[in-house]
Amino acid sequence: MLPVLIETLPFFALIGLGYGAGRTGFFTAEATAWLTKFVFYFALSAMIFRFAANLPIGDMLDLPFLGAYLCGTLAVYLLATAVAFLRRISVAEAAVEAQCAAIGNTGFLGLPMLAMLMGEAAIAPVMMVLATDLIVFSSLIVILITGAREGRMSPAILKTLALGLMKNPMIVSILLGLAWSALAVPMPTPVNAFLTLLGAAATPGALFAIGASLATKTAERVSVASWLSFAKLILHPAAVAGSALLLFDVDTFAAGVMIAAASLPVAGNVYMLAQHYGVAPHRVSSAILLSTTASILTVPAVIAWAAAL
Protein backbone atom coordinates (compact mmCIF):
# COMPACT_ATOMS: atom_id res chain seq x y z
CA MET A 1 0.00 0.00 0.00
CA LEU A 2 2.81 2.44 0.85
CA PRO A 3 4.06 2.84 -2.76
CA VAL A 4 0.49 3.56 -3.94
CA LEU A 5 -0.03 5.99 -1.06
CA ILE A 6 3.11 7.86 -2.12
CA GLU A 7 1.87 7.94 -5.73
CA THR A 8 -1.53 9.30 -4.73
CA LEU A 9 -0.17 11.93 -2.31
CA PRO A 10 0.41 14.58 -5.04
CA PHE A 11 -3.27 14.30 -6.01
CA PHE A 12 -4.45 14.76 -2.44
CA ALA A 13 -1.83 17.47 -1.89
CA LEU A 14 -3.44 19.47 -4.71
CA ILE A 15 -6.82 19.00 -3.03
CA GLY A 16 -5.23 20.18 0.24
CA LEU A 17 -3.75 23.21 -1.51
CA GLY A 18 -7.17 24.16 -2.85
CA TYR A 19 -8.70 23.62 0.59
CA GLY A 20 -6.11 25.92 2.17
CA ALA A 21 -6.72 28.59 -0.46
CA GLY A 22 -10.45 28.38 0.19
CA ARG A 23 -10.24 28.37 3.98
CA THR A 24 -7.95 31.41 4.08
CA GLY A 25 -10.20 33.34 1.72
CA PHE A 26 -7.45 33.66 -0.89
CA PHE A 27 -9.72 31.70 -3.22
CA THR A 28 -13.30 32.89 -2.79
CA ALA A 29 -16.45 30.83 -3.33
CA GLU A 30 -17.06 32.79 -6.53
CA ALA A 31 -13.55 32.02 -7.78
CA THR A 32 -14.09 28.33 -7.00
CA ALA A 33 -17.36 28.35 -8.95
CA TRP A 34 -15.66 29.84 -12.01
CA LEU A 35 -12.70 27.45 -11.81
CA THR A 36 -15.11 24.52 -11.54
CA LYS A 37 -16.99 25.82 -14.57
CA PHE A 38 -13.77 26.08 -16.59
CA VAL A 39 -12.74 22.52 -15.68
CA PHE A 40 -16.21 21.07 -16.22
CA TYR A 41 -17.00 22.68 -19.57
CA PHE A 42 -13.55 23.05 -21.12
CA ALA A 43 -10.55 21.24 -19.63
CA LEU A 44 -12.21 17.99 -18.51
CA SER A 45 -14.37 17.90 -21.63
CA ALA A 46 -11.25 18.19 -23.82
CA MET A 47 -9.57 15.38 -21.89
CA ILE A 48 -12.62 13.10 -22.14
CA PHE A 49 -13.14 13.80 -25.85
CA ARG A 50 -9.49 13.03 -26.65
CA PHE A 51 -9.57 9.85 -24.60
CA ALA A 52 -12.84 8.68 -26.20
CA ALA A 53 -11.71 9.58 -29.73
CA ASN A 54 -8.71 7.28 -29.33
CA LEU A 55 -10.72 4.35 -27.91
CA PRO A 56 -12.04 1.51 -30.06
CA ILE A 57 -15.80 1.89 -29.68
CA GLY A 58 -16.09 -1.77 -28.65
CA ASP A 59 -14.08 -1.01 -25.49
CA MET A 60 -17.01 1.05 -24.20
CA LEU A 61 -19.55 -1.73 -24.84
CA ASP A 62 -18.26 -4.35 -22.42
CA LEU A 63 -21.58 -5.83 -21.27
CA PRO A 64 -20.18 -8.04 -18.45
CA PHE A 65 -18.35 -4.99 -17.08
CA LEU A 66 -21.44 -2.80 -17.24
CA GLY A 67 -23.58 -5.53 -15.70
CA ALA A 68 -21.13 -6.08 -12.85
CA TYR A 69 -20.86 -2.37 -12.06
CA LEU A 70 -24.60 -1.83 -12.22
CA CYS A 71 -25.29 -4.86 -10.03
CA GLY A 72 -22.73 -3.94 -7.35
CA THR A 73 -23.66 -0.27 -7.31
CA LEU A 74 -27.38 -0.98 -7.20
CA ALA A 75 -26.84 -3.30 -4.21
CA VAL A 76 -25.26 -0.47 -2.21
CA TYR A 77 -27.87 1.99 -3.49
CA LEU A 78 -30.69 -0.25 -2.25
CA LEU A 79 -28.95 -0.89 1.09
CA ALA A 80 -28.55 2.85 1.72
CA THR A 81 -32.19 3.37 0.74
CA ALA A 82 -33.32 0.64 3.15
CA VAL A 83 -31.30 2.16 6.02
CA ALA A 84 -32.81 5.56 5.24
CA PHE A 85 -36.35 4.15 5.32
CA LEU A 86 -35.62 2.43 8.65
CA ARG A 87 -34.90 5.92 9.99
CA ARG A 88 -38.31 7.00 8.62
CA ILE A 89 -37.06 9.75 6.34
CA SER A 90 -38.70 10.84 3.08
CA VAL A 91 -38.22 9.25 -0.34
CA ALA A 92 -36.37 12.37 -1.54
CA GLU A 93 -33.91 12.27 1.37
CA ALA A 94 -33.45 8.53 0.94
CA ALA A 95 -32.61 9.08 -2.75
CA VAL A 96 -29.99 11.69 -1.86
CA GLU A 97 -28.41 9.44 0.77
CA ALA A 98 -28.35 6.49 -1.66
CA GLN A 99 -26.62 8.71 -4.20
CA CYS A 100 -23.97 9.59 -1.60
CA ALA A 101 -23.40 5.90 -0.82
CA ALA A 102 -23.03 4.80 -4.44
CA ILE A 103 -21.73 7.63 -6.65
CA GLY A 104 -18.07 8.65 -6.48
CA ASN A 105 -16.05 11.56 -7.80
CA THR A 106 -15.16 9.74 -11.02
CA GLY A 107 -15.02 12.74 -13.35
CA PHE A 108 -12.94 15.23 -11.40
CA LEU A 109 -10.79 12.79 -9.39
CA GLY A 110 -11.08 9.27 -10.74
CA LEU A 111 -10.47 9.72 -14.46
CA PRO A 112 -7.25 11.77 -14.22
CA MET A 113 -5.88 9.88 -11.21
CA LEU A 114 -6.59 6.32 -12.33
CA ALA A 115 -5.45 7.01 -15.90
CA MET A 116 -2.13 8.20 -14.49
CA LEU A 117 -1.73 5.50 -11.81
CA MET A 118 -3.04 2.47 -13.72
CA GLY A 119 -2.11 3.45 -17.27
CA GLU A 120 -4.02 4.25 -20.46
CA ALA A 121 -5.68 0.82 -20.38
CA ALA A 122 -7.70 2.10 -17.38
CA ILE A 123 -9.35 4.87 -19.41
CA ALA A 124 -12.12 2.79 -21.01
CA PRO A 125 -13.24 1.11 -17.75
CA VAL A 126 -13.26 4.43 -15.88
CA MET A 127 -15.27 6.07 -18.64
CA MET A 128 -17.81 3.22 -18.54
CA VAL A 129 -18.19 3.82 -14.80
CA LEU A 130 -18.55 7.58 -15.39
CA ALA A 131 -21.14 7.13 -18.15
CA THR A 132 -23.16 4.68 -16.02
CA ASP A 133 -23.16 7.04 -13.05
CA LEU A 134 -24.26 9.99 -15.18
CA ILE A 135 -26.87 8.25 -17.33
CA VAL A 136 -28.39 5.76 -14.89
CA PHE A 137 -27.96 7.02 -11.34
CA SER A 138 -28.04 10.78 -11.93
CA SER A 139 -31.31 10.18 -13.80
CA LEU A 140 -32.61 7.95 -11.02
CA ILE A 141 -32.23 10.57 -8.29
CA VAL A 142 -34.10 13.14 -10.39
CA ILE A 143 -36.91 10.65 -11.07
CA LEU A 144 -37.24 9.73 -7.38
CA ILE A 145 -37.18 13.29 -6.03
CA THR A 146 -39.46 14.75 -8.69
CA GLY A 147 -41.80 11.76 -8.66
CA ALA A 148 -42.07 11.87 -4.85
CA ARG A 149 -42.96 15.55 -4.94
CA GLU A 150 -45.49 15.30 -7.75
CA GLY A 151 -46.82 11.91 -6.68
CA ARG A 152 -46.51 10.50 -10.18
CA MET A 153 -44.27 10.16 -13.22
CA SER A 154 -44.93 12.65 -15.98
CA PRO A 155 -43.57 13.22 -19.50
CA ALA A 156 -42.11 16.49 -18.20
CA ILE A 157 -39.73 14.55 -15.94
CA LEU A 158 -38.44 12.50 -18.87
CA LYS A 159 -38.04 15.66 -20.93
CA THR A 160 -36.04 17.26 -18.10
CA LEU A 161 -33.82 14.19 -17.87
CA ALA A 162 -33.18 14.10 -21.62
CA LEU A 163 -32.32 17.78 -21.73
CA GLY A 164 -30.07 17.43 -18.69
CA LEU A 165 -28.12 14.58 -20.29
CA MET A 166 -27.78 16.45 -23.59
CA LYS A 167 -26.45 19.51 -21.75
CA ASN A 168 -23.94 17.57 -19.64
CA PRO A 169 -20.52 18.24 -21.19
CA MET A 170 -19.07 14.95 -19.95
CA ILE A 171 -21.79 12.92 -21.67
CA VAL A 172 -21.50 15.04 -24.82
CA SER A 173 -17.71 14.66 -24.84
CA ILE A 174 -17.91 10.88 -24.50
CA LEU A 175 -20.48 10.58 -27.31
CA LEU A 176 -18.65 12.93 -29.67
CA GLY A 177 -15.34 11.21 -28.97
CA LEU A 178 -16.80 7.77 -29.65
CA ALA A 179 -18.41 9.08 -32.84
CA TRP A 180 -15.00 10.34 -33.97
CA SER A 181 -13.50 6.96 -33.10
CA ALA A 182 -16.19 5.14 -35.08
CA LEU A 183 -15.41 7.25 -38.16
CA ALA A 184 -11.75 6.15 -37.91
CA VAL A 185 -10.60 9.59 -39.02
CA PRO A 186 -7.06 10.50 -37.89
CA MET A 187 -7.00 13.39 -35.42
CA PRO A 188 -5.32 16.40 -37.08
CA THR A 189 -2.07 17.26 -35.32
CA PRO A 190 -3.07 20.85 -34.39
CA VAL A 191 -6.42 19.62 -32.98
CA ASN A 192 -4.73 16.88 -30.98
CA ALA A 193 -2.18 19.38 -29.64
CA PHE A 194 -4.98 21.78 -28.68
CA LEU A 195 -6.96 19.08 -26.88
CA THR A 196 -3.84 17.81 -25.11
CA LEU A 197 -2.92 21.31 -23.93
CA LEU A 198 -6.43 22.14 -22.74
CA GLY A 199 -6.97 18.70 -21.23
CA ALA A 200 -3.73 18.99 -19.27
CA ALA A 201 -5.40 21.70 -17.17
CA ALA A 202 -8.13 19.26 -16.09
CA THR A 203 -6.18 17.34 -13.46
CA PRO A 204 -4.67 20.22 -11.43
CA GLY A 205 -7.72 22.41 -11.98
CA ALA A 206 -10.19 19.73 -10.91
CA LEU A 207 -8.21 18.71 -7.82
CA PHE A 208 -7.70 22.33 -6.73
CA ALA A 209 -11.42 23.02 -7.28
CA ILE A 210 -12.37 19.96 -5.19
CA GLY A 211 -10.24 21.26 -2.31
CA ALA A 212 -11.50 24.83 -2.59
CA SER A 213 -15.11 23.63 -2.61
CA LEU A 214 -14.46 21.49 0.50
CA ALA A 215 -13.54 24.69 2.35
CA THR A 216 -17.21 25.70 2.22
CA LYS A 217 -18.46 22.31 3.47
CA THR A 218 -19.45 21.73 7.09
CA ALA A 219 -19.48 18.54 9.16
CA GLU A 220 -23.09 18.42 10.38
CA ARG A 221 -25.11 15.23 11.07
CA VAL A 222 -21.75 13.48 11.53
CA SER A 223 -23.25 10.08 12.39
CA VAL A 224 -25.22 9.90 9.14
CA ALA A 225 -22.31 11.33 7.14
CA SER A 226 -19.98 8.73 8.67
CA TRP A 227 -22.35 5.91 7.64
CA LEU A 228 -22.60 7.27 4.10
CA SER A 229 -18.81 7.67 3.90
CA PHE A 230 -18.34 4.07 5.09
CA ALA A 231 -20.84 2.87 2.50
CA LYS A 232 -19.09 4.79 -0.28
CA LEU A 233 -15.46 4.05 0.60
CA ILE A 234 -15.77 0.47 1.85
CA LEU A 235 -19.11 -1.14 0.95
CA HIS A 236 -19.28 0.15 -2.62
CA PRO A 237 -15.88 -1.20 -3.75
CA ALA A 238 -16.57 -4.45 -1.84
CA ALA A 239 -19.95 -4.92 -3.55
CA VAL A 240 -18.50 -4.13 -6.97
CA ALA A 241 -15.60 -6.53 -6.34
CA GLY A 242 -17.99 -9.34 -5.43
CA SER A 243 -20.13 -8.64 -8.48
CA ALA A 244 -17.20 -8.44 -10.91
CA LEU A 245 -15.16 -11.35 -9.56
CA LEU A 246 -17.92 -13.78 -8.56
CA LEU A 247 -21.05 -13.06 -10.62
CA PHE A 248 -19.78 -11.72 -13.96
CA ASP A 249 -16.97 -12.72 -16.28
CA VAL A 250 -15.06 -9.43 -16.10
CA ASP A 251 -11.44 -9.16 -17.23
CA THR A 252 -9.17 -9.07 -14.18
CA PHE A 253 -7.54 -5.73 -15.00
CA ALA A 254 -10.86 -4.08 -15.85
CA ALA A 255 -12.32 -5.45 -12.61
CA GLY A 256 -9.44 -3.88 -10.69
CA VAL A 257 -10.08 -0.51 -12.32
CA MET A 258 -13.81 -0.81 -11.57
CA ILE A 259 -13.10 -1.55 -7.92
CA ALA A 260 -10.65 1.37 -7.69
CA ALA A 261 -13.23 3.71 -9.27
CA ALA A 262 -15.87 2.49 -6.80
CA SER A 263 -13.57 3.40 -3.88
CA LEU A 264 -13.63 7.13 -4.70
CA PRO A 265 -15.23 9.60 -2.26
CA VAL A 266 -18.73 11.06 -2.65
CA ALA A 267 -19.14 13.05 -5.86
CA GLY A 268 -19.51 16.83 -5.74
CA ASN A 269 -22.43 16.78 -8.17
CA VAL A 270 -24.53 15.03 -5.48
CA TYR A 271 -24.28 18.24 -3.46
CA MET A 272 -25.30 20.31 -6.48
CA LEU A 273 -28.39 18.12 -6.97
CA ALA A 274 -29.22 18.21 -3.25
CA GLN A 275 -28.88 21.99 -3.19
CA HIS A 276 -30.89 22.41 -6.41
CA TYR A 277 -33.82 20.40 -5.04
CA GLY A 278 -33.42 21.63 -1.45
CA VAL A 279 -33.02 18.10 -0.07
CA ALA A 280 -30.47 17.53 2.75
CA PRO A 281 -27.62 19.63 1.30
CA HIS A 282 -25.84 19.87 4.70
CA ARG A 283 -25.94 16.08 5.07
CA VAL A 284 -24.36 15.68 1.63
CA SER A 285 -21.82 18.40 2.43
CA SER A 286 -20.70 16.46 5.52
CA ALA A 287 -20.50 13.19 3.58
CA ILE A 288 -18.32 14.78 0.90
CA LEU A 289 -16.02 16.34 3.49
CA LEU A 290 -15.65 13.19 5.59
CA SER A 291 -15.34 10.76 2.69
CA THR A 292 -12.77 12.89 0.87
CA THR A 293 -10.67 13.23 4.02
CA ALA A 294 -10.82 9.51 4.80
CA SER A 295 -10.12 8.59 1.17
CA ILE A 296 -6.52 9.76 1.56
CA LEU A 297 -5.95 6.39 3.26
CA THR A 298 -8.73 4.19 1.92
CA VAL A 299 -8.31 4.88 -1.83
CA PRO A 300 -4.60 3.91 -1.94
CA ALA A 301 -5.40 0.74 0.03
CA VAL A 302 -8.14 -0.28 -2.41
CA ILE A 303 -6.04 0.62 -5.49
CA ALA A 304 -3.11 -1.42 -4.14
CA TRP A 305 -5.41 -4.42 -3.57
CA ALA A 306 -7.14 -4.03 -6.93
CA ALA A 307 -3.83 -3.73 -8.79
CA ALA A 308 -2.70 -7.02 -7.25
CA LEU A 309 -5.66 -9.01 -8.65
- The 10 Å Cβ neighbour count of residue 140 is 18
Q: How far is CA 121 from CA 50, 111, 282, in A?
A: 14, 12, 37
SS3 266: strand
User: Is residue 226 situated within a structural domain?
Assistant: yes
Q: How many domains does the chain have?
A: 1
Q: What is the CATH number of the domain that holds 69?
A: 1.20.1530.20
Span 163-172, pLDDT tens digits: 777 888 999 9
* Residue among 141, 272, 290, 277 at smallest CA distance from 224: 290
Residue 148 has pLDDT above 80, yes or no: no
| Average predicted confidence (pLDDT) for the chain | 90
The range of the structural domain enclosing residue 105 comes to 2-17+59-307
User: Is residue 34 situated within a structural domain?
Assistant: no
User: Is residue 37 situated within a structural domain?
Assistant: no
User: Is residue 229 situated within a structural domain?
Assistant: yes
For the segment 141-153, the average pLDDT, to the nearest whole number, is 76
Confidence bin at 185 (pLDDT 50/70/90):
confident
Q: Quick check: 216 and 275 in contact, CB under 8 A?
A: no
**Where do the H-state alpha helices sit in 137-247?**
138-150, 155-167, 169-183, 189-199, 202-214, 222-230, 236-242
Q: Quick check: 228 and 101 in contact, CB under 8 A?
A: yes
User: Is residue 169 situated within a structural domain?
Assistant: yes
Span 25-75, pLDDT tens digits: 999 999 999 999 999 999 999 999 999 998 888 888 899 999 999 999 999
Residue 142 has pLDDT above 90, yes or no: no
User: Is residue 151 situated within a structural domain?
Assistant: yes
CA distance 89 to 69: 27
Q: What is the DSSP letter of 104?
A: B
**Residue 126 has what pLDDT?**
95
User: Is residue 22 situated within a structural domain?
Assistant: no
Confidence bin at 150 (pLDDT 50/70/90):
low
Least confident residue range of 27-36, 209-218, 294-303: 209-218
User: Is residue 118 situated within a structural domain?
Assistant: yes
Span 88-120, pLDDT tens digits: 999 999 999 999 999 999 999 999 999 988 988
For the segment 243-263, the average pLDDT, to the nearest whole number, is 95
